[in-house]
Amino acid sequence: MKIIPPDLPSASRPDLLRAKHRYGIWFGVAMGVFFALPAWGIDAYLLDNLHAFHPWLKFLIGITTCMTVGGFAGWLSARIDKPLLAVLFWVIAGAVFAWLTIFLPFQIAPRVSSLLEPDLQGLLHYTYYESLSSGFGITYFWIGIFISLAGLLQIPLSDSAVFSPAIAGRVTPMLVALLLMGSCGSIVDDLSNEALRSPIDSINAAIQYSIDHRGQPVNTVEARALHVGALRAVQDLVTPGRRFIVSGYDEFLGEVQVLVRFDEAWVECTILYDQPGNCEQVGNTT
């Protein structure tokens, strides 16, 4: 039986220190999960309903990375046990989160998609513009605010949770993480995902309308509102089975190219501020 010296403070007992370290890890993992769910989970769900290629890819990469980085930051903060250093560790973790929000949709996901779908190689023409760096700054600003507050609260909240005999006391820090990082992730979705998701939504609506009214009288007002005329050159290639992926964009994300895989052909459509412009065949499916 291990004897604890009587002069050893209870808060310094090895078993309690290990409990604090474990709780720090779980707190950090929860921070990563609660950030990733709205930051990429909402986008993945919506893209899944829009027939996108590998809609859950960004979410899986994002949540795995954020859980790992968050868990390490939480453990390190608990081990050092100094609130100001905990803020520093979480600010560094926030930089990784912010980097992911920009490079995941514009760099990482397209490359992984090309590996998973070899037919996409040569059809994606992504360019990293300097203006995207300003997007990183804005994203990091918002993440920095929320994540610094969470980092500052981690140690006092974790200490009370470890010593709390009640379930509510142990859950409270996780609810704080949910509130802070959930709000932050929702802002990030609007900043980094919406501009690439809306063009897919608009061309998918035009295609669905064309399919639903094939061989029937068309309401001119509705067709114009959805810009169904953009499909005129590829009308014979349009099929219910389809998959979408953004294939290119301009510096300000006002003009976005969306690649569509139909049953027998690849078609690329230009979307100008969420309004389909024109579509043309760029290849045949294998």
The whole-number mean pLDDT for each consecutive block of 10 residues of the chain, a chain of 286 residues, reads 47 74 90 95 96 96 96 94 91 92 90 91 84 76 89 83 73 83 89 92 96 88 93 94 94 92 96 94 87
* Whole-number pLDDT of residue 50: 96
H-helix segments, 164-235: 167-188, 194-212, 220-226
Q: Of all residues in the chain, what percent are helix, strand and coil, respectively (each to 5)?
A: 70, 10, 20
Place of tokens 């707190």: 27
Cα separation values, 91 from 67, 87, 100, 271, Å: 15, 6, 14, 37
Provide the CA 35 distance to its chain's centre, in angstroms: 9
Angle between helices 131-163 and 83-103 (to 10 degrees): 140
Type of residue numbered 98: A
Contacts 24+ apart (CB under 8 A), 130-134: 131/251, 131/252, 132/102, 132/106
Contact indicator for 66, 95 with CB cutoff of 8 Å: no
Q: Model-level pTM? A: 0.87
Query: What stretch of H or E contains 73?
Result: helix 57-80
Sign of CA dihedral 171, 176, 179, 180: negative
SS3 117: coil
Q: Strand pairing partners for 255?
A: 272
* Whole-number pLDDT of residue 12: 64
* Whole-number pLDDT of residue 7: 45
Residue 271, phi then psi, degrees to nearest 5: -115, 120
Sign of CA dihedral 209, 52, 41, 194: negative
